[in-house]
Chains A and B, each alone.
Chain A
Amino acid sequence: NAGVTQTPKFQVLKTGQSMTLQCAQDMNHNSMYWYRQDPGMGLRLIYYSASEGTTDKGEVPNGYNVSRLNKREFSLRLESAAPSQTSVYFCASSELLAADTQYFGPGTRLTVL
Chain B
Amino acid sequence: KQEVTQIPAALSVPEGENLVLNCSFTDSAIYNLQWFRQDPGKGLTSLLLIQSSQREQTSGRLNASLDKSSGRSTLYIAASQPGDSATYLCAVSSRTGNQFYFGTGTSLTVIP
Residues of A at the B interface (CB closer than 8 Å) are: 4, 33, 35, 40-45, 48, 50, 56, 58-59, 90, 92, 97-107
Contacts and interface: CB of A to CB of B under 8 A. Distances in A.
A98 B44 contact: no
Contacts of A102: 34, 44, 46, 91, 100
Given A43-B44, A92-B44, A98-B31, 6 more contacts: A42-B102, A43-B102, A58-B99, A97-B98, A99-B31, A101-B34
Contacts, number: 60
Main DSSP-derived SS at the B contact region: strand
A64 to B, nearest CB: 15
Nearest to A92: B44
B100 A45 contact: yes
Contact of A104 (B44, B49, B94): B44
B104 A40 contact: yes
A91 B12 CA distance: 30
B44 A90 contact: yes
Given A101-B34, A101-B46, A104-B45, A42 B103 contact: yes
Interface in B76-112: 89, 91, 93-94, 97-100, 102-105
B37 to A, nearest CB: 11
B32 interface: yes
12 contacts: A35-B102, A41-B104, A42-B102, A42-B103, A42-B104, A98-B93, A99-B93, A101-B46, A101-B49, A104-B36, A104-B44, A106-B43
B101 to A, nearest CB: 8
A5 to B, nearest CB: 10
B44 A56 contact: no
B97 to A, nearest CB: 8
B43 A104 contact: yes
Nearest to B97: A98
Given A56-B98, A59-B99, A42 B34 contact: no
